[in-house]
Chain A
Amino acid sequence: MSEPDAKRGTAVWVSRAGLNQLIANLKAQGYQVVGPRIADGAIVYDAIEGISDLPSGWTEQQEAGTYRLRRRDDDALFGYNLGPQSWKKFLHPPLLRFFAAERNNGELRILPSTEPAPRYALLGVRACELAAIQVLDRVFLKDAFVEPNYASRRRDLVVIAVQCTRAAPTCFCRSMGTGPAVRSGFDVALTELGEGFVAQAGTERGEQLLGSVERAPADEELIRQAQEAVEQAAAQMVRRIETQDLARRLQEALESPHWDDVARRCLACGNCTMVCPTCFCTTVEDTSNVRGNRAERWRKWDSCFTESFSYIHGGSVRTSVRSRYRQWLTHKLSWWVDQFDMFGCVGCGRCITWCPAGIDLTQEVSKLVASG
């Protein structure tokens, strides 16, 4: 993974046919291209064969606790913001078998995971999501402990970013300093304008990818339009978190009565942690078969909202929902800073939209800080 450089490469114009060619080229190189498509009333990330799989003409309407697909009055391919899933599901899969073991005639054999990690090319990565991948990189790849499963998926990852040209009401990337403009961490960045894209390479690989498809020089007018489209997204953003001195101010609010107010609404269902692009916690489960001669060790996404999450000898540490919500929020916005020198929140707003109770992180934070 080479350090990306936003200034690399001059902007070019790529038609839709050119993007289709880019997808085909990636597939020919052995990449599994994953991107947005419609499934079960939402835009989700899944395998993409070509641009015909993309959610052409679709967008979404999001608010706290609600999401609806809506038709656009054009046929934009990336005219939405964010769905329920994040790229975490590919880089840090929800279910992963570590190994299996078999015992036959008294002989124990350890069977390592045989499947090689897929080579993914992510299509349609937004600025906040790029920031989320950088957060996961910090968690899994730095320091003494490198998580090998993440590392193997990350190593050869191709990232085709797409600029947001609109903001959902739940977005607050601007206040978190992560968007809406894509600035780094991509191979290619696209800004959709009408029937094509202003494309820019961020890496050498990105240059090669763009070099292999039909393209035209992007004139100054196009580049200006692309910039304006992203500025429009920034201007649309309504939610925000005041990050100034936030880590410390939250630590002063640990006994705020407002935690009880949240706990009354919080279902402790764990949805916020599942949809969060940076929540990385897992649990490990050992299973064995009925014959008792085969065992498997699985890793599963876990949530700090479950009782078993903080279970140690003698019981769970966080028995109340109040303490679990406090753990989650203060980890994201305070302890994460101590731990990783960055926030664990990128401002994507998924936890707001996909909370069945519509608990709004941005509002809770401002109330907590005010009461602290």
Chain B
Amino acid sequence: MTRALARKPRIAVFKFASCDGCQLSLLDAEDELLEVADAVEISYFPEASRRMLKGPYDIGLVEGSVTTHHDAERIQQVRRQCRTLITIGACATAGGIQALRNWKDAAEFVRHVYARPDFIHTLKMSTPIAEHVPVDLELRGCPINKNQLVELVAAVVVGRKPNLPTHSVCIECKRQGVTCLLVARGTACMGPVTQAGCGALCPRFGRGCYGCFGPMEAANTASLSDIFRNLGRPDAAIARDFRTFNAWAWQFRQASEEAERR
């Protein structure tokens, strides 16, 4: 991926357990969409086109988590077909919101929800793609950020490293002159432990970051939990703060379990 190909890179988009929102970000790249379609060869993208070319592919974009036996096998095939495998979105990178089942009895959910539970074959856990196959790169977020996706494509086309920060959201806030919601309003903002890349979307609109990009590098979730506690936030609420789209990412998982134990 760090060297430009002589021909257009062949891209495939695969869906696992997910809401499709991240794939849609690609179609949502309105201004850049035609350029993207021109710069790469979309070889396999069932949501966008009936034309489905066989692998191998230069780049596989994988959305969604693994929640069934079938998917656990399919991801192995996908990996074999893709030179570079990139996971896109919180489901693929962390197990997604459906990883909340990991703390519960999935079979019981099935019994309550479905008229014929015997038709449903599901795994006990929702797990990120990286727990099954080696992953080359991650695009975080629920959903992913359009600009990051376009940046990724632009980098691939010329064979350079994409600019994908792994530091806190706080740095994005400060570069844009957004006043800290945590300090100036006492908002329980997840920004100090959350990876940047969204352009501080929520804080820019006066809402605390809810951590949809998952843990940043060296996320100190224990310290942020203490800060939230000092704001008077109950432990049950703190557990929920960490148990959303990236609940199964270990740094967040550790923090939610710690809050639950209290």
Which residues of A does B touch, CB under 8 Å?
39-42, 44, 65-69, 83-85, 89, 94-95, 264-271, 274-275, 285-292, 300-301, 303, 305-308, 321, 353-358
Contacts and interface: CB of A to CB of B under 8 A. Distances in A.
Contacts of B166: 306-308
A274 B175 contact: yes
Interface in B146-197: 150-151, 153-155, 157-158, 160, 163, 165-168, 170-171, 174-180, 182-186, 191-193
B39 interface: yes
B53 interface: no
Interface stretch (B20-28, B41-49, B56-64, B216-224): B216-224
Given A307-B166, A356-B180, 20 more contacts: A41-B179, A41-B184, A67-B180, A68-B184, A84-B180, A84-B183, A95-B175, A267-B168, A271-B174, A274-B174, A287-B151, A287-B154, A288-B155, A290-B39, A305-B167, A307-B167, A321-B218, A353-B183, A354-B183, A358-B227
A287 B163 contact: yes
B35 A290 contact: yes
Contact of A44 (B165, B167, B179): B179
Contact of A307 (B36, B192, B218): B218
Q: Is the interface of B mostly helix, strand, loop or mixed?
A: helix
Given A267-B223, A288-B155, A40 B178 contact: yes
A271 B179 contact: no
A95 to B, nearest CB: 6
For chain B, give the interface size range: 35 or more
Contacts of B105: none
B38 interface: yes
Given A268-B220, A269-B192, A288-B155, A300 B175 contact: yes
B32 interface: yes
A72 to B, nearest CB: 18
Given A269-B171, A354-B183, A321 B220 contact: yes
A188 B156 CA distance: 54
Contacts of B178: 40
A356 B160 CA distance: 36
Contacts of B183: 65-67, 84, 353-356
A107 B160 CA distance: 21
Contacts of A65: 183, 227
29 contacts: A40-B178, A40-B184, A42-B184, A65-B183, A68-B184, A83-B179, A94-B174, A264-B223, A265-B223, A267-B168, A267-B224, A269-B168, A270-B170, A271-B174, A271-B180, A271-B192, A274-B175, A287-B163, A288-B158, A290-B32, A290-B36, A290-B157, A292-B157, A301-B171, A303-B171, A306-B166, A308-B165, A356-B183, A358-B227
A285 B155 CA distance: 12
Given A42-B179, A65-B227, A66-B186, A290 B154 contact: yes
Nearest to A291: B35
A270 B179 contact: no
Contacts of B218: 268, 307, 321
B158 A303 contact: no
Residue with the greatest number of chain B CB neighbours at <10 A, chosen from A264, A268, A321, A353: A268
Contacts of B175: 94-95, 274, 300-301
Contacts of B117: none
* Cβ-closest 5 pairs across A and B: A274-B174, A269-B192, A94-B175, A269-B168, A306-B167
B206 interface: yes
B184 A84 contact: yes
A67 B184 contact: yes
A290 B227 contact: no
A308 to B, nearest CB: 7
A306 B160 CA distance: 22
Nearest to B150: A290
Contact of B168 (A84, A270, A301, A358): A270
B182 to A, nearest CB: 5
A69 to B, nearest CB: 8
Given A270-B167, A286-B160, A308-B166, A292 B154 contact: yes
A3 to B, nearest CB: 32
B187 to A, nearest CB: 10
Residue with the greatest number of chain A CB neighbours at <10 A, chosen from B35, B179, B185: B179
Residue with the greatest number of chain A CB neighbours at <10 A, chosen from B151, B154, B218: B218
B184 A292 contact: no
A44 B186 contact: no
Given A271-B170, A290-B39, A301-B175, A357 B180 contact: no
Contact of A306 (B171, B222, B223): B171
A22 to B, nearest CB: 25
Contact of A291 (B38, B171, B226): B38
B26 to A, nearest CB: 12
A348 to B, nearest CB: 15
A268 B168 contact: yes
B157 A356 contact: no
A354 B177 CA distance: 13
